[in-house]
């Protein structure tokens, strides 16, 4: 590696893009969050592994991250509970000194056609997927503003990455709670990006397409279901959690320092209206 400024070194040594940074990932004991927490650790960040249920899985993720020679611990909190989110970020600041990267990833589905969807199903999805992101972003932003930019660590005062979905823009019959929550995440992200950019805080979203995780097992776990799903993916493969994890690492790093208020679609072309490839 060529010797140079700390910044140049950070940018050329991709394996250590996030050296010295402190990251929190919500819902980090499964699927995309799990892969993201590991990728952030591999990139040199100390990581807080949030989980709500599944303590054993969370501890396994912590062990893997510690294997990269960085720090990690598991923290149980429900992202839709204000006191629990506040306490989670406060503990992180106590243990690691600060927070540089908040990945608001936790999310769930409670699917039903409109007529059968209960208010409880509607509220649960909005509470976790949208209110949870609001609470996590708010608590992280308070610390980013308090601390400001530390040049040796990153060019920005902090990064918030909202885990959205292609359903931020693609309507989804039978999933009105989920699609509404992700549409909301898109506007939450842009509004926070506008509000926080003057503090040198970057807020962006990653919008995955179909990724092989427990949340959508029915969509890929049989050959018939997978073939049906592939009709929606021009690139011809279902995504892996690592596809999303790499995008998060890049977006969180100074390589993407001028990217503010963007949604990065990581979807194998799912948002390209694939039906129009042969029709229209
Ligand atoms: P997953 O079910 O494997 O992971 C979701 C995680 O969120 C789990 O760890 C779960 O315990 C956690 N969680 C749920 N409720 C929580 C709460 N109240 N507090 C804290 N954590 C909570 O699913 P995934 O596919 O890895 O989903 C991760 C994110 O990616 C979600 O926001 C989801 O909407 C989004 N996403 C996934 C796909 C996909 O195809 N898998 C596509 C688009 C977007």
Q: pLDDT per residue over 242-253, tens digit each? A: 999 999 999 999
Q: Tell me the pLDDT tens digit for each residue of 30-48.
A: 999 999 999 999 999 999 9
Q: Are the CB atoms for 147 and 98 separated by under 8 Å?
A: yes
* Atom number of ligand 1 nearest to Cα 167: 43
Residue 14: pLDDT band with limits 50, 70, 90: low
Q: Tell me the pLDDT tens digit for each residue of 49-71.
A: 999 999 999 999 999 999 999 99
Q: What's 13-276's CATH class?
A: alpha beta
Nearest CA residue ID for atom 31, ligand 1: 107
Nearest CA residue ID for atom 32, ligand 1: 107
* Atom number of ligand 1 nearest to Cα 129: 32
Query: Is 169 strand, coil or helix?
Result: coil
Q: How far is CA 73 from the centre of its chain?
A: 18
Ligand 1 centroid from CA 166, angstroms = 14
Ligand 1 centroid from CA 2, angstroms = 40
Residue 280: pLDDT band with limits 50, 70, 90: confident
Q: Say which range, 11-20, 115-124, 182-191, 200-209, has the weakest mean pLDDT.
A: 11-20
How much is the pLDDT for 43? 98
On the CB side of 187, CA atoms within 13 Å amount to 8
Q: Are the CB atoms for 265 and 233 separated by under 8 Å?
A: no
How much is the pLDDT for 202? 99
Ligand 1 centroid from CA 226, angstroms = 20
Instruction: State the chain's mean pLDDT as an integer.
Output: 95
Element (H, E) at 263: strand 263-266
Q: Which of 131, 45, 38, 53 minimizes the C-alpha distance to 92?
A: 45
Q: Tell me the pLDDT tens digit for each residue of 128-142.
A: 999 999 999 999 999
Q: Are the CB atoms for 125 and 108 separated by under 8 Å?
A: yes
| Percent residues over pLDDT 70 in the chain | 95
Q: Which residues are catalytic?
A: 178
Q: Which of 105, 100, 89, 135 minimizes the C-alpha distance to 33?
A: 105
Nearest CA residue ID for atom 44, ligand 1: 165
The four Cα atoms 111, 132, 32, 63 give a dihedral, to 10 degrees, of -130
Is 80 exceeded by the pLDDT of residue 238? yes
How much is the pLDDT for 6? 52
Ligand 1 centroid from CA 277, angstroms = 31
pTM metric for this prediction? 0.95
Neighbours of 211 (CB within 10 A): 22
Domain boundaries, the chain: 13-276
Name every protein residue with a CB atom under 6 angstroms from any ligand 1 atom: 26-27, 29-33, 50-53, 78-80, 105-108, 128, 163, 165, 208, 210-211, 213-216
How much is the pLDDT for 8? 47
């Amino acid at each position: 590696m060529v010797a140079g400024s700390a910044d140049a070194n950070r940018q050329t040594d991709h394996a250590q893009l996030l050296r010295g940074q402190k990251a929190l990932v919500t819902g980090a004991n499964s699927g995309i969050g799990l892969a993201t927490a590991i990728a952030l650790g591999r990139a040199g960040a100390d990581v807080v592994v949030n989980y709500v249920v599944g303590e054993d899985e969370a501890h396994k993720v912590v062990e893997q991250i510690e294997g990269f020679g960085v720090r990690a611990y598991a923290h149980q909190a429900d992202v839709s509970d204000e006191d629990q989110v506040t306490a989670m970020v406060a503990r992180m600041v106590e243990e690691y000194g600060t927070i540089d990267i908040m990945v608001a990833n936790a999310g769930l589905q409670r699917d039903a056609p409109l007529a059968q969807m209960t208010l409880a199903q509607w509220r649960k999805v909005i509470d976790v997927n949208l209110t949870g992101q609001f609470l996590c972003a708010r608590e992280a932003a308070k610390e980013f503003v308090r601390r400001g930019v530390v040049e040796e660590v990153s060019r920005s005062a902090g990064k918030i990455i909202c885990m959205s979905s292609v359903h931020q823009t693609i309507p989804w019959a039978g999933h009105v709670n989920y699609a509404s929550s992700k549409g909301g995440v898109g506007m939450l992200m842009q509004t926070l990006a506008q509000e926080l950019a003057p503090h040198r805080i970057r807020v962006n979203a990653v919008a995955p397409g179909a990724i092989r995780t427990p949340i959508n097992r029915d969509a890929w776990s049989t050959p018939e279901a997978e073939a049906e799903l592939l009709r929606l993916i021009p690139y011809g493969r279902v995504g892996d959690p690592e596809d999303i994890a790499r995008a998060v690492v890049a977006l969180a790093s100074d390589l993407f320092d001028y990217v503010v208020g963007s949604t990065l679609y990581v979807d194998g072309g799912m948002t390209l209206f694939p039906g129009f490839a042969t029709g229209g």
